[in-house]
Chain A
Amino acid sequence: MPETHVLVPAGMLGAGFTAEAVDRGIALGAHAIAIDGGSTDSGPYYLGAAAPKMPAEAITADLRVMLLAAHRAGIPVIIGSAGTSGTDVGVDWVAGLVEDLAREHGLGLTVARIYSEQDPDDLVALLDAGRIHPLPPAGPLDAATLGRCRHVVGLMGAEPIIAALDAGVDVVVGGRATDTAVIAAVPLRRGAPAGPAWHAAKTAECGGQCTTDPRGGGVLVTVDDEGFTVEPLEETSACTPTSVAAHMIYENADPHVMREPSGTLDVRGARYRALDDRRVRVTGSTFTPQSPTVKLEGSGVVGYQSLALAGIRDPEVLASIDVWSKGLRDFVAAKVRDVLGREEPEVVVEVRCYGWDAVLGDLDDDRTTPREVGAVLIATAPDQETATKVVKLANPYLLHMPLPGMDHLPSFAFLSSPAEIPRGPLYEFLLQHVVAVEHPEELFRTRIEEVGR
């Protein structure tokens, strides 16, 4: 079997990379350019609102470099998790940017849109058929939870992408996909063994993260019958056995095994060897096929938030900041009860003191007196109006809350006028479940079109 080279210019579409780095990977024989366009890592908002994290200008800049280089070389471009969360709106948004560029540069392109968004009614039917199962730490799913999701996507593996490439497309704009699927698809399609193909994909998923300079550029992976080789696209960067092996643990709960829709990658037998001072050779990873499953991601609104921020620099207050913040929270919660007739859990009032314990909360065992604190009062309510009302009600106390026994009213340093900042809906991830499918393409739909001709 011939070896397969996949060029991964960056860890995420829109992150930015140079045309020179892409040209270097093409000169090394790249058979495809693959890049991940999203993640859950930025939080539940992007899926719940079906909104992208990156500005269109950043996506277009990266697309321009990839599409022009790939068109010259006659190789496909593969994008997964388009528009951050991989909703249908995200796929259409990125495909629209591809179309604009194709027209602008006179590139005739065949583009596949692979949709991964799931109809809640179809999912209820799958639930009733006993085909949806929880992953730890989730419990069994019920139809009500599905009903609370604003958007649900399924994570595709390599198979829908391979099918699109079989149809002869130049560009794949995929909905939600595993980070690895976009990279593994081309080696698998060309007959590479699954162990090295998936392990190479996991290694390259974050671009330069597996190199000695995680900030710089992307990588080229070369998969063959025995294993794979990885090298950076930037001449100033390097891959070492440690930098490559260490990437297997990144954002991964289990460093040895990784479940994909069609089976499980196991790297316990992997051996990492330096070929020279820039390239690393990896052998011994295995992949065991299993009954196919598709993981679901869903996000829904759990409330609406408003907040206000007061800066505290007064050393006397800071010396008892724990007493102050608890006093303020309890006082405001009582006001909300007395004046608005609302209480927890319907309306949640929190005070987080940035500079004191806001990040770790009661896990923080460092109780030294801070020099300055940003006290954020956060109200979460069933509607925006109530959330803002709570913060307005809290305003005089956030401004003037004294310590017990203080003989004057202090005034703190507000961030803004108006003090209250409406944040809009608060989303929460609601699914940690998989669907048992007949075949890996079952939950995905592909549309192919010609653009720019």
Chain B
Amino acid sequence: MSPTIGDVASLVRSKNAGPFWQTLDVFLPDDDAFRRVAEAPGLDEATVARAYRLDPATVRIFRLPDIRVVKISFPRPTPQGGVHDRDMHAGQQHVPLARLPLHP
């Protein structure tokens, strides 16, 4: 079984970036772990879009080697606080990302 992103990361978190965007930060413990995630075949716009049911064109992935973070941002599927919003602060939206395998 391939390890998941959550297995390799020291922290995976999510949060609103304003009422219409959410952002997910993957903190990696060392350069080797950063490379494994940053270069993982299982981590691209299409994979993230599938896990979150998004249009891949709306997914932005940033690889930040200086602080060993992979950051992913995309528009909120439903505006913050609206009728269908289940997570006011988008604080629990990191879990599907953390469960993705590095080598699908």
Contact = CB atoms under 8 A, between A and B. Distances in A.
Interface of A: 40-45, 136-138, 242, 245-246, 249-256, 272, 297, 302-303, 348, 350, 352, 358-366, 380, 426-429, 432
B19 A363 contact: no
Contact of B18 (A40, A42, A303): A40
Interface string B66-84: 1101010101000111111
Contacts of B73: 253-254
Contact of A253 (B18, B52, B66): B18
B17 A251 contact: yes
B15 A429 contact: no
Interface of B: 15-21, 23, 25, 27, 51-53, 58, 60, 62, 64, 66-67, 69, 71, 73, 75, 79-84, 86-89, 92-93, 95-96, 99
A44 B86 contact: no
Contacts of B25: 249-250
B86 A361 contact: yes
A243 to B, nearest CB: 9
A293 to B, nearest CB: 15
Q: Which 9 A-B pairs rank lowest in CB-CB distance, beginning with the nearest?
A: A137-B75, A253-B17, A43-B81, A253-B73, A429-B19, A44-B81, A428-B82, A253-B21, A245-B67
Contacts of B69: 246, 249, 255
B87 A359 contact: yes
A432 B20 CA distance: 8
B23 A253 contact: yes
22 contacts: A40-B18, A40-B80, A43-B80, A43-B81, A136-B75, A137-B20, A137-B58, A137-B75, A242-B67, A250-B25, A251-B17, A253-B23, A253-B60, A254-B73, A255-B69, A302-B82, A360-B95, A363-B52, A365-B96, A428-B81, A428-B82, A429-B19
Nearest to B20: A432
Contacts of B87: 359
A432 to B, nearest CB: 5
Contacts of B62: 254-256
B71 A249 contact: yes
A252 B17 contact: yes
B71 A255 contact: yes
A359 B73 CA distance: 19
B86 A429 contact: no
Contacts, number: 103
Given A360-B92, A365-B99, A250 B79 contact: no
A41 B16 contact: yes
Contacts of A272: 66
A312 B73 CA distance: 36
B17 A363 contact: no
Contacts of B58: 137
Nearest to A345: B83
A365 B87 CA distance: 17
A380 B85 CA distance: 13
Contacts of B84: 350
The residue in A45, A253, A360 that gathers the most chain B C-beta atoms within 10 A of its C-beta is: A253
A350 B84 CA distance: 9
A253 B2 CA distance: 29
Contacts of B92: 359-360
Nearest to A245: B67
A45 B88 CA distance: 11
Nearest to B17: A253
A251 B15 contact: yes
A358 B83 contact: no
Nearest to A252: B17
Given A44-B79, A242-B67, A255-B62, 11 more contacts: A43-B80, A43-B81, A45-B81, A250-B25, A253-B17, A359-B87, A366-B99, A426-B83, A427-B81, A429-B82, A432-B20
Contacts of A366: 99
Contacts of B88: 42-43
Contacts of B79: 44, 428-429
Given A429-B19, A429-B20, A432-B20, A363 B53 contact: yes
A56 B28 CA distance: 41
A7 to B, nearest CB: 26
Contacts of B19: 40, 44, 297, 429, 432
B86 A303 contact: no
Nearest to A426: B83
Q: B73, B82, B93 — which one has the most chain A CB atoms within 10 A of its CB?
A: B82
A133 to B, nearest CB: 15
A402 to B, nearest CB: 26
